[in-house]
Amino acid sequence: MNIDSYIVKESKDKVTTKPHVLPIYASSSFVFDNIEDSIDVFKGDKDAHKYSRYGNPTIDAVADKIAHMAVYGSDLEAFGLMTSSGMSAISIALTSFLKTGDQVLSQGNLYGGTTELLNKIISRSGVETIFTNLQDLNQVEDILKSNPKIKICYFETPANPTMACVDIEAITQLCRQYGVLSIADNTFCTPYLQQPLLLGTDIVIHSTTKYLNGHGNSIAGMIICKNPEHQKSLWTTLKLVGSTCNAWDAWLTNQGLKTLSLRMDRHSSNALALAKFLEQHGRVKQVNYNGLTSHPDHLIACKQMKDFGGMMSFEIDGSVQDGIDFMNKLEFCTLAPTLGDVDTLILHPASSSHLNVAKEIRERNGITDGLVRISVGIESIEDIINDIGAALDK
């Protein structure tokens, strides 16, 4: 027996008890007992792992956990797939169901990266995206009636970074009426605060990099659906494109999930306190936080969200430079192009996430030169308020 065979044999023989912490299966492939076993697995007659691009025990365990969270409290079954990033999750979800000549219906106030994906990459396949105000349900129905080529309605709620909300039940009901697949980005809320699958959405995506992980130490994405046929299509695309998650990032995500409820409760309470402070500040023109009764979509958020989360934005009275100057005066909060960490993270969309979105499109959707996005962390709220207040007053 060579040394490699000995190691494999010994590792099998010595597994006698179940590990408390999810193991990391850092293996590109998995061993078959014999050729007949291999044939059964590749034919689909036997369910087993064979190659980590197709599936991995660590990745699958975390995907199943998040899928169960997405439908928790119901008798629905959900299927989950982990991808290499949030953007790959969006890309896989779209390309699995689109072909040349199809159309996508979406909102103008999307995350800038998603807008670029639709306009610069998805469009290369001859797929057109129609951007509209998804809050105007009469307009949405008119568009669906007059455009039978629309195959997918893609939305995020709350929107990044204006926090505008789409009525999930209403929009998905229209999608079902016109035979359109609905896909929701639920990254901001996580299944702890909002469950789009239970409100009628067909497919939900997450950047697990953000709140699901919560600690800024991994990049991964998640796709969840209810329909087994949708799951097959998504898995086939994911397998062949090769945008699968890796075991290490899946494991880190799983570690973050253990404190998700605690973190989201603290994110939500801190964000509400900060929003109320900013609403009273003289330099602030507008505060976008769904927990404020002044937010135009407060009632929609109340209907479909358990709490209001840690994301918010506010508009400084001034120019792009005023926004940049504010950012440079911060000392406690962190300037970083991400969100959902335990730390408070601040971003200036006009000079970063939405830099490549035309100014007229930005402003039409509330993303002004002075808009600042905040991912409110779980630190002491006094420290957060003091830092932001001081930067505004300097």
**Residues 68 and 213 reside in one and the same domain:** yes
Q: Where among 233, 257, 281 does a domain terminate?
A: 257
**Residues 251 and 277 reside in one and the same domain:** no
Question: Residue 7: its pLDDT value, please?
Answer: 44
Residue 20 lies in a domain: no
**Residues 228 and 356 reside in one and the same domain:** no
Distance CA 132, CA 49 (A): 43
Residue pLDDT, tens place only, 107-155: 988 888 899 999 999 999 999 999 999 999 999 999 999 999 999 999 9
Residue 296 lies in a domain: yes
Dihedral sign (CA 302, 113, 84, 79): positive
Residue pLDDT, tens place only, 197-240: 999 999 999 999 999 999 999 999 999 999 999 999 999 999 99
With a cut of 80, say whether residue 52 has pLDDT above it.
Answer: yes
Compute the average pLDDT of residues 176-200: 98
**Residues 230 and 306 reside in one and the same domain:** no
In degrees, to the nearest 5, what angle opens at C-alpha 327 toward C-alphas 322 and 333? 155
With a cut of 90, say whether residue 41 has pLDDT above it.
Answer: no
Q: Where among 257, 273, 301 does a domain terminate?
A: 257
Residue 26 lies in a domain: no
Q: Is residue 210 among the annotated active site residues?
A: yes
Residue 301 lies in a domain: yes
**Residues 250 and 319 reside in one and the same domain:** no
Residue 45 lies in a domain: no
Residue 271 lies in a domain: yes
Residue 39 lies in a domain: no
Which of 40, 50, 53, 54 is labelled catalytic? 53
Residue 3 lies in a domain: no
More confident residue, 214 or 359: 214
Question: Residue 203: its pLDDT value, please?
Answer: 98
Residue pLDDT, tens place only, 292-342: 999 999 999 999 999 999 999 999 987 878 888 999 999 999 999 899 999
**Residues 287 and 271 reside in one and the same domain:** yes
CATH of the domain at 84: 3.40.640.10
**Residues 169 and 237 reside in one and the same domain:** yes
- Domain assignment of residue 354, given as a range: 260-393
Question: Residue 380: its pLDDT value, please?
Answer: 98
Which of 60, 154, 210, 369 is labelled catalytic? 210
**Residues 293 and 185 reside in one and the same domain:** no
Stated pTM of the model: 0.92
CATH of the domain at 358: 3.90.1150.10
Which of 25, 60, 111, 167 is labelled catalytic? 111
Q: Enter the tokens of residue 201.
A: 């959405």
With a cut of 70, say whether residue 5 has pLDDT above it.
Answer: no
Which of 185, 249, 297, 341 is labelled catalytic? 185
More confident residue, 192 or 37: 192
**Residues 125 and 200 reside in one and the same domain:** yes
**Residues 210 and 333 reside in one and the same domain:** no
Q: Where among 207, 236, 257 does a domain terminate?
A: 257
**Residues 230 and 141 reside in one and the same domain:** yes
Q: Is residue 111 among the annotated active site residues?
A: yes
Place of tokens 């953000």: 210
Number of domains in the chain: 2
**Residues 203 and 104 reside in one and the same domain:** yes
pLDDT classification of 42: cutoffs 50, 70, 90: confident
Question: Residue 108: its pLDDT value, please?
Answer: 87
